[in-house]
Structure 1
Amino acid sequence: MSNYPLSYKLSWLPRFLKPSLGGDRHGFAVSSAMLIDPPPVQRVRLAFIGDISAVANSGTPEFDPMISALLASADLVVGNCESPIVERPRAVLGTRLGARHAMTERFLADAVAAAGIARDKLVLSLANNHALDQGVVGFEETVAALDRLGIRTIGTVAGGQVQRLAAGPLSIGFAAFTLWRNAGEEAFQGRVSMASDPAEWPREALAELDLVCAVPHWGWEFRHFPRLGERELARRLAGHGVGLIAGHHAHVVQPIERIGRSLVAYGLGDFLGTAFARQPWPGRIGSILVVDISADAGTRGAIAAYRMHFFMRLRAGDDERLVALEGLKGDLKRKAETRLGVIFPGPRS
């Protein structure tokens, strides 16, 4: 059984049709800033993308060259694998109705190549509510497929609560977890990380890290502003030394908050559409969070600068075409800029 409250379930369709701008709008940060001036001589670049799924694409999506160039500039690209990777769905009816997710290994490989992301630089979280949509066997197929593709994973129990990855000269610990499940807790235990309490993370896993990054699957979908629970958890994570938090699950862009020296991006939206092929325009706005981390001796592991880069997922026949905000025109661009102006205070460049 899933762990969604009834009020959440009842609000899903209304909020999908009309994503909400309601909630507390206070205390959020601008969408880009330089935090170390002058900038460090040595830097490592991380790029965080949103949820990845084949739901809105029959074939390979198209990518704006500006987006591909941006992703190619990163030392690591971190995203959320929202759909199990299987050759044939086991939950056939649920998959056809859109209640269960699935994508093929070929689709993911082609999408990653089209986006300009080198596989050895891509890191995907499996800590999300859809991880067992195709059953335990589907989860195992997903892990095996990503291993064949040479794509590293985070958010599995087998990998540990904090997984250490090298990014240039830096050692970064990634703690990915989900607060939501589409299946019973027993099925998730031992497979998908639900370790949201940093006080319980093993100390040895945190030793000698330059930066700890949390990748939570949290919040309520189709709401542009995080709820109190997510903001409280972000403070708890920051209080335990997590310097960077990049969240998923809302399927719409959410704001940034700075908590001391920590940076929180509550929700990046979808990278590839995950909630039906035809989606209201606010849900088609996505973002890429680019964070430069200092590798200089005096500021090693500190966030030197960050910027949210926004794009829109447009239809191209049966597939999506990702266009940078700068490339949009007319009413759609004006609507997107107006909405982003509500979510992010101040200038966005």
Structure 2
Amino acid sequence: MAAPIRTLAFLGDVMLGRLVSDEIGRRPPAFFWGDALSLLHGADAVFVNLECAVTGNPEPWRRTEKVFHFKAVPKAIDVLKAARVRFACLANNHVLDFETEGLLETLSLLDSAGIPHAGAGRTRDEAERAAFVDVKGLRVALFAATDNEPDFAATDEAPGTKHVDPYRDEPVWPTPRDIEAARSDGADLVVASLHLGPNMVLQPSPPLRGYKQRLCESGVDIVHGHSAHVFQGVERRGNGLILHDTGDYLDDYAVDPQLRNDWSFVFVVEADETGLKRLVLHPVRLEFATTRRADGPEAAAICDRMEALSEPFGTRFRRVDGRLELDLAD
């Protein structure tokens, strides 16, 4: 009997703070996901980058200069639960926007809600620890790291994020030893959720691309990239899959009319215990504090851009019913 296929939905940045947070008390939790919620409920697991602190702490980070400070009210956890989020990456440049207290409350709220997380913690060891998610018997290990805000980095004595320098770090992180340890702990799939690189760029720099390629060569199955606020191309590397950047997914940001940070996808990976089988990209359009499925000419334009961005990596999609598909089993 063939092993059952599980579907893993990867989203980009989910920013529930600022004006989105203001709406949380006025709207039901399902509102924020719009008609794309059916896609998320159709997946066996949803993985996101949580681009804010979830806290009632009023004191922003002032230790270094920072322009934007994002926090969501504690009830934002109900928004994550409405989408059945199974994992939150916390390695980013906003999780400490409301200081150590804000991070600690975020960790506590996620733990109380039963949402695994990685990339930030009470100590460096905790920030480096993989999260494990059981997806209908498929054991997924998720590591998370960022090259943003080095002053947020956790130490042996202080809470913070897992910070990496993709331009200098050798070996890459997670290291082959980390990956092997996750396999020894029963992981069928290993994911690296990485908040790397500058904002508003459509292509990864050669060093960033090389860093992600080396992770796949070290045994990572899926690189879940985010940070640019716009999606980037998809690349196969050996048996691994690189989602170079999954863009934005939920926020209140101003829209760049050229770069279109309001365009994205639900990135659905189909897999079983033997490996990755297929990638399906469902185009979506971000609106104020909600996301909807794209269709017609809008969906075609979003798919056109993904095909153009992925073509230099040798990636060729099929277009099926307004979405993109890529076989991964061959």
Q: Does 1:171 align with 2:142?
A: no
Unmatched runs of 5 consecutive residues or more in structure 1: 1-38, 295-299
**Matched residue, 1:125:** 89
**The 10-residue stretch of structure 1 (99-108 or 185-194) with the greater mean CA deviation from structure 2:** 185-194
Q: Deviation digits for residues 65-105 of structure 1, max 9, x if unmatched?
A: 3x1111112222111111011114312899xx961111112
**The 10-residue stretch of structure 1 (73-82 or 48-57) with the greater mean CA deviation from structure 2:** 48-57
**Matched residue, 2:280:** 307
How far apart in 2 are the matches of 1:149 and 1:106? 11
**Matched residue, 2:254:** 278
CA shift in 2, pair 1:187/1:86, >3 Å: farther
The structure, 1 or 2, with the larger RCO (C-alpha pairs under 8 Å, 6+ apart) is: 1
Work out which of the residue numbers 220, 242, 245 in structure 1 matches 2:223.
245
TM-score w.r.t. length of structure 1: 0.74
How far apart in 2 are the matches of 1:190 and 1:311? 35
**The 10-residue stretch of structure 1 (80-89 or 338-347) with the greater mean CA deviation from structure 2:** 338-347
Work out which of the residue numbers 178, 193, 201 in structure 2 matches 1:201.
178
CA contact (8 A) 1:162 1:206 kept: no
CA contact (8 A) 2:153 2:161 kept: no
Displacement of 1:140 in angstroms is 0.5
What does 1:1-349 align with in structure 2 at a 5 Å threshold? 40-54=2-16, 55-57=18-20, 58-60=22-24, 61-65=31-35, 67-91=36-60, 99-110=68-79, 112-113=81-82, 117-118=83-84, 121-156=85-120, 157-158=125-126, 160-181=128-149, 183=151, 185=153, 190-194=159-163, 196-199=173-176, 201=178, 203-207=180-184, 208-273=186-251, 277-281=253-257, 282-294=260-272, 300-315=273-288, 320-326=289-295, 336=302, 338-345=304-311, 346-348=317-319, 349=324
CA contact (8 A) 1:174 1:215 kept: yes
Q: Deviation digits for residues 264-299 of structure 1, max 9, x if unmatched?
A: 1011111112xx5322240111221101112xxxxx
RMSD after superposition: 2.8
Displacement of 1:197 in angstroms is 4.4
Matched residue type, 1:343: L
Q: Per residue, is there more strand in 1 or in 2?
A: 2
Displacement of 1:176 in angstroms is 1.0
Matched residue type, 1:122: R
Displacement of 1:237 in angstroms is 0.5
Matched residue type, 2:190: V
Unmatched runs of 5 consecutive residues or more in structure 2: 25-30, 165-172, 312-316, 325-330
Give the count of matched residue pairs.
Answer: 289
TM-score w.r.t. length of structure 2: 0.78
